[in-house]
Amino acid sequence: MCRLSRDLFPIVVAVVGAHALTYLLVGVLPDAAVVSLGIEGTKQEVLAAYQSVHETRSYAKVIVDLIHFDLGQTLDGVPVVKEIMDALSYSAPRLTLSFILVSGVVTAAALLPPSQTADPVVASFLAFLPPYVMPFIGLVLVLYLGFALNLSLSDSVTQAIVIATLAIAPAALVWSQTRKIAHRNLSTDFARTLLSIGATPLIQRFRLLNNVIAELAPSLEKVFTGLVSVLLFVEPIYGLSGFGTTAIRAIRRSDTDLLLGLVLILALSVAAFRMLSIIVRRHYHMPI
């Protein structure tokens, strides 16, 4: 119980802190009424009518409403919970499939035999690969196929490109880590013993996969954060509905309630991944 409290305390502080900080930072964004009304926002009566509908809640009220599971309403008059659930229903499958893709990369990196020539080259390339460029390269690819080759890409192909684009940056991160860990593990006594008792090199690397997963556990949180960060670029670029597009819209329109709701969900998700990595490392009796 005490250990759980010790693990949970910093996570709760981080979630609450992110939420409170967002409320403060919303003040830096343009006035929502001005953004929505444009030049009409100069008229006091029009502004007053708008503000009477879109009331700004104090942070104390936000917290009280949150305790009652009320995240407020978007500027469009849609409950924030519904808006976020809709966005997640689009983004969650994309994130999951990207995560599976990253997992596949981890498995491949752990099972492939070490190469004295290819590994340094790939590592150098990945170190200089700017992950944020990938959504744009993907878009150029889609447009090129559309215009130059006069192809109309099906939605499934576009979705596949999006998933690959999402996965590429976190995959690059874990590829490098996995290769280093795998290389180090292969030189341990345990690995040599496996070979001496008749295991093939592939079986040897397969047995060492657990060690790789255990050591990569702290990166789970980073992988998730990386996936969500790229989501903010990718979904708006491809005009796809989801968490990223909703977040960008919330920022551009200074939609306070929606922004707070999104940050809360994101913070809770990152916290969940942090807890998962703690659980995995405890499972393997590794230091936290």
Partner 1 sequence: MRTLPRWLMIAFVVMAVVIAIVLFEKTDKTAPVSERTASLRLQSFALSLHPLKMADVESRQVATLLHTGLIAQEQDGTTKPAIASAWIQKGNEWTFTLHKNITFANGSPVTVKDVLTSLCNALQPSSPWSWALASIAHQRSQDGKTIDCTGITATGENQVNIVESHPVPWFLDALSGPAGWILPSGAKEEAYGVVSGAGPYRVKEIVPDVRVTLEARSTGSVITPGVKTVTFEYLPDDSVAAQKFSGGQLDVLDLTSPQLQQLLVDATGKLKYPGTMTKRPWDRVRLVIVNQKALSAKGFSPQQTRDFIDALASTVERDKIASLAKGGADPLVAPFPPAKDIPGANTPRKVDQLKTPKSNLTILTEPDPYSDLIAASLPKQLGSVSMGYKGVDKGMLINSLLKGEFEIISVLIEATVHSPEFWKAFFTPGNPYSVVGVPLTGLDNVDVSTDSGVAEAGQRILHEGNWIALLQESRIQAVAPGISGISFSPSGQTNFAFIKKD
Q: By CB under 8 A, tell whether 147 contacts partner 1.
A: yes
Give the residue carrying structure tokens 């990207």.
Answer: 98
Burial class of residue 198 in the structure, from the number of CB atoms within 10 Å of its CB (0-12 exposed, 13-18 middle, 19+ buried): exposed
Among 19, 72, 94, 173, binds partner 1 (CB under 8 A): 94
**Helical (H) or strand (E) element with 12:** helix 2-26
- According to CB under 8 A, which residues from 169 to 198 bind partner 1? none
Q: How far is the CB of 80 from partner 1 (least distance, A)?
A: 12
Residue 19 sits in the site that holds partner 1 (CB under 8 A): no
Provide the minimum distance between the beta carbon of 76 and partner 1 in the complex, in angstroms, as a whole number. Answer: 5
Do the beta carbons of residue 281 and residue 214 sit within 8 Å?
A: yes
> In the complex, what is the shortest distance from the CB of residue 126 to partner 1, in angstroms, rounded to a whole number?
25
CA dist list (Å): 8 to 71, 173, 224: 23, 27, 19
Site string for partner 1, 206-225 (x = CB under 8 A): ----xx-xx-----------
User: Are 223 and 170 contacting, i.e. CB atoms less than 8 angstroms apart?
Assistant: yes
Of the candidate residues 22, 83, 171, 226, the single one contacting partner 1 (CB under 8 A) = 83
Binding of residue 146 to partner 1 (CB under 8 A):
yes
Residue 281 neighbours by CB under 8 Å, 6+ apart: 214, 217, 218, 287, 288
- What gap in Å lies between CA 222 and CA 220, rounded to an integer? 5
The contact set with partner 1 (CB under 8 A) reads 29-31, 34-46, 48-50, 76-78, 83, 86-87, 89-90, 92-94, 96-97, 100, 139, 143, 146-147, 152, 155-156, 159, 210-211, 213-214, 236-242, 245-246, 249, 252-254, 283-285
